[in-house]
Amino acid sequence: MAWNKVAVIGAALINFGELFDQSYEHMAAGAFQAACGAVDKGFDPTQVEAAFVATQRGTLWGQEGIAGNTVPSAIGLAGIPCTRIENACPSGSDAFRVGAMAVASGVHEVVLVIGVEKMRDKSTEEGLLSRAAAGHPIFTRGETAPVLFAPFATRHMHEFGTTREMLASVAVKNHYNGARDPYAHFRNEITIDDVLNSPPVCTPLHLLDCCPQTDGASAVLLVSAERATEFTDSPVFVAGFGVATDHPYLHEKSTFTSLTATVTAAERAYKMAGIGPADIDCAEVHDCFTITEILDIEDLGFVEKGKGGIASLDGETSLTGRIPVNTSGGLLAKGHPIGATGVAQITECWWQLRGEAGERQVATRNGFALQHNVGGRGSGVSVVNILTTNR
């Protein structure tokens, strides 16, 4: 039996992109207001009892580190309890999990989970340098974000014969989906040749193998399952979740063909939901790079280990495929405003399960959708949330 103690009654995101004209606070307010507006039977914002805000970068201009007290004020809820959640790339999905636990505990009945991230207020060069110079002076020097994932591509290609075309097919598919998502940063379709011929970034990954730097915000409203019908006749329940950690440094990894935190987090989430990977109708997974999605679909159990590349090339993860993945366009096309990413993925799952995904709508035979992030230094943390319409 699925856990189902908490329901999602509203979910929304603002248009992702280079939002130079919007402040962090404006993005937060936009997402919150949209989420309130998405509640079927109407929602008075003052009903929010507590909030969890996900923002990964705490050093943009200093105030994100204390988002727990800046965000309530920005969204008109000064006075409520609010806590910032930082857990690397899964910050948004972990805030969702924490919010669900807060509701399930009975302490709060109506909780806001909001993810907000400014990625473009600092220059690309500054962002790269802050990553490359961060961490251990020797063992992590030069580690820009692609360095954390590209070694897995090198090894996956070596062990399983995965090709650059297979990697590229992930970007092609996600851009196809993104072109059908009005909220996506990139709404253009691309070809495999576009990916192969894009400039090299971190061999073997090229530019279009990498997600962009995107500003964005997303919000969801959680209530106890008992009260769900006060707000909607089509509630979506939290079926289960799982979190797992792994050693943070790449030299501590035992394998470079799997992100083991994902495997463990998924096992925990499936067990909690009482289902297996075959029961999932669609999934929003962490595709910061094309190789990451290939690892994800293997580690989440959708395809056999080593077959992620060929399954992607063969269309198994397309909108009409066996297991549609990243129907929103994923991080590659929709964008990756880190704290907002997980919350926006939840929103896509919510739409899919409610049949509201428009051109991107997939068949939801079993009523389960899965959301996944993985990140941190060396993919040291992963979060999996599973949503369901099954009561």
Partner 1 sequence: MCAHDEDVLTLSAEAAARALAAAGLDPGAIDGLWWGTTRPPFAEGPSHAILAAAIGLGSNSTGALLSGSPHAGIEALLGAADAIAAGSARVALVVAADALRPGIGTSFETRAGAGAAAYILTSADVSGGEAGALIGARVTRTYPLLDRYRGDAELATRDVYDPRLFREEIFLPPIREVGEHLATLEPTVWSLPDPDGRLGGIAATQLGARGAVASDIVSKAVGDTGAAAALLGAIAGLDAAGTVAVIATGGGRTTGVALVADVAVPGAATLQHLLDEGNEASYAEVLRSRTELVAVGESVPMGVPPQSAMFVRGANEMLSLLAGRCADCGTLNTPPSIHPMCLSCGGTKFETVALARRGIVHTYVVNRTMPAPFVAPLGIAVIDLEDGARIMLQVVGDGADIEIGAAVDLVLRRYAHERGVPVYGLKARVRQDPPDIFGDAVEGNGFDGTGDETSTIKEQ
Q: Tell me whether the omega of the peptide bond preceding residue 81 falls within 30 degrees of 0, making it cis.
A: no
- How many CB atoms within 10 Å of residue 235? 24
Q: Is 120 in the site for partner 1 (CB under 8 A)?
A: no
Q: Is 146 in the site for partner 1 (CB under 8 A)?
A: yes
Q: Is 363 in the site for partner 1 (CB under 8 A)?
A: no
Identify residues 220-279 at the interface with partner 1 (CB under 8 A): 247, 249-253, 256
Kindly report the length of the chain: 391
Cα angle 284-203-259, degrees, rounded to a multiple of 5: 40
* Binding segment (CB under 8 A) for partner 1, from list 27-35, 193-201, 231-239, 311-319: 193-201
Residue from 89, 202, 282, 349 carrying the catalytic annotation:
89
Please, what is the minimum distance in Å from the beta carbon of residue 205 to partner 1?
Answer: 8
Kindly tell me which residue out of 61, 69, 107, 141 binds partner 1, with binding defined by CB under 8 A. 141
Identify residues 366-385 at the interface with partner 1 (CB under 8 A): none
Cα separation, 285 vs 296, in Å, equals 7
Residues 279 and 368: beta-carbon distance below 8 Å = yes
Q: Is 161 in the site for partner 1 (CB under 8 A)?
A: no
* Binding segment (CB under 8 A) for partner 1, from list 143-151, 161-169, 329-337, 344-352: 143-151
Q: How far is residue 14 from each of residues 116, 205, 242, 350, measured CA to CA in Å?
A: 10, 29, 27, 15
The one-character DSSP state at 76 is T
Q: Is 125 in the site for partner 1 (CB under 8 A)?
A: yes
108 is catalytic: no
Please, what is the minimum distance in Å from the beta carbon of residue 123 to partner 1?
Answer: 10
Nearest to 153 by CA among 253, 257, 255: 257
Tell me whether residue 204 or residue 324 sits nearer to partner 1 (CB atom). Answer: 204
Q: What is the dihedral of CA 85, 89, 94, 99, to 10 degrees?
A: 50
Q: Is 58 in the site for partner 1 (CB under 8 A)?
A: no
Q: Is 321 in the site for partner 1 (CB under 8 A)?
A: no
- How many CB atoms within 10 Å of residue 307? 17
* Binding segment (CB under 8 A) for partner 1, from list 23-31, 80-88, 99-107, 149-157: 149-157
Residue 369's SS3 state is: strand
Kindly tell me which residue out of 80, 101, 147, 192 binds partner 1, with binding defined by CB under 8 A. 147
Tokens of 246: 């792994």
Residues 186 and 178: beta-carbon distance below 8 Å = yes
The residue ranges that bind partner 1 (CB under 8 A) are: 125, 128-130, 132-139, 141-144, 146-147, 150-152, 154-155, 158, 199-205, 247, 249-253, 256
Residues tagged active-site: 89, 336
